[in-house]
Amino acid sequence: MKRVLKKSLASVSQDDRKIIRRISTYLLSHHMNEVVYEETVSDLIGMAEECRARGEDFSQAIGPDIEGFSRELIKNAPRMSWPERVLADLQWFLYCFGMLVPVMYIVNLIFTGTGAGAQLTFTATILTFIKYCVVCTAVVTGIFIFRRRGFGAPKLTLGIYIAVFVILFTVTDSLERFVPTDIVIHLDVIIWVVTFGVLLLLCWLIRRLSAMTTAYMRVLGQRLQRSFHIHRDSGDTDKDKDNEKEKDNEE
Amino acid sequence: MDFDKSQLMRGTLEGCILKIISVRTTYGYEIIELLRTSGFKDVSEGTIYPILMRLLRAGMIVSELLPSPLGPKRKYYTITETGLEYLSSFYSYWTQLSTAVAEIFGEEGSCNSE
């Protein structure tokens, strides 16, 4: 969500904010196009503010069936494309994984003083990285599933997720038997942070451009169609006038 | 068994909202008030907002954010050429449909079989 939207969302009452958050969670978890989503949330905030100014209840204006209202909103709205969805999940993954080195470095710095920190390098076994990678994947999948759970995620999906989580946990725990623990990786913290920062920025930029293209192409197409329609109509009337003139001349 | 009003309301409301917008450029709450005074008593923002969004995406109306005396900017809606075309075909079909319904139910609107 944009900073401006977050700011205006903070200005509405807590009850109204809860309703808007529930709706926005539904829209996001059902992959509404990002640009359209922001527009919808901004409309809802405006609606809540107007209700308050009129002394009315926003929850009554929306109605008791919030899920039904959200479903209606998503029905004809453009959705995220597959590449956008993949990029959104990848962005979460990069964010989680990118945090590993800076967090561990800071923890190292706090507990061991300046020893490892002075060289700005982080050292860990390959096993730590594999384990962390598994945890990141589980977190990203969990975020997606638990977001949908707000409106009752299918029990089967939830069950599969929990089962996969338990299996992953067991497998990760027994990794030490298969992965040699003597492989150690030395990483430069700054290079790591910059690399993940750039990757995250690229992901966001591509996703945003793709969302904007989807949202605006439809509007642009309609405008073009409309202007073509108007031109065609005016062209027809010009032709009609010419025909009438020709008829008059013949007479 | 209770009659499900929402199914019948959805299509009808779409046409009525378009008609209101075709008269003059207007905003959400004004549309609700006009609908309520016309007899659509259960109408609220939650009912008309998804319809307005659908019309907007279908290119039947366009919106513009303008300042409002109540504080936040308001979205004003104006009908387009496509919307006018849709409205005229909606109304002709509605007339046809209401005549057919009136024919079946009779002048008194009785639903008892004789």
- Residue pair A140/A92 in contact (Cβ under 8 Å)? The answer is yes
SS3 state at A188: strand
Q: What is the pLDDT of residue A188?
A: 82
For this complex, say whether ipTM is above 0.85: no
Q: pTM (2 decimals)? A: 0.69
Q: What is the pLDDT of residue A184?
A: 76
The CATH code for residues B5-105 is: 1.10.10.10
Is 70 exceeded by the pLDDT of residue A225? Answer: no
Q: pLDDT digit string (tens) for B101-114? A: 888 887 665 555 44
- Residue pair B61/B18 in contact (Cβ under 8 Å)? The answer is yes
Reading the block at residue A241, the tokens are 């006038």
Put simply, the answer to whether A229 touches B68 (Cβ < 8 Å) is: no
How far does Cα B56 stand from its chain's mean position? 13
Residue B95 near chain A (CB below 8 Å): no
Residue B85 near chain A (CB below 8 Å): no
Residues of B in contact with A40 (CB under 8 A): 53
Put simply, the answer to whether B50 touches A72 (Cβ < 8 Å) is: yes
Distance CA B16, CA B34 (A): 10
Domains of chain A: 3-75 (1.10.1900), 82-210 (no CATH)
Following DSSP, what letter does each residue of A100-135 receive, concatenated?
HHHHHHHHHHHHHTTTTGGGTEEEEEHHHHHHHHHH
Q: pLDDT digit string (tens) for A51-79? A: 888 888 888 888 888 888 888 888 878 88
- For chain A, which residues lie within 8 Å of any Cβ of chain B, measuring from their own Cβ? 40, 43, 45-47, 49-51, 53-54, 60-63, 69, 72-73, 75-78, 218, 222, 225-226, 229-230
CA of B14 vs chain A CAs: smallest distance (Å): 14
Task: Out of A46, A51, A230, name the one closest to residue B73 (CB).
Answer: A46
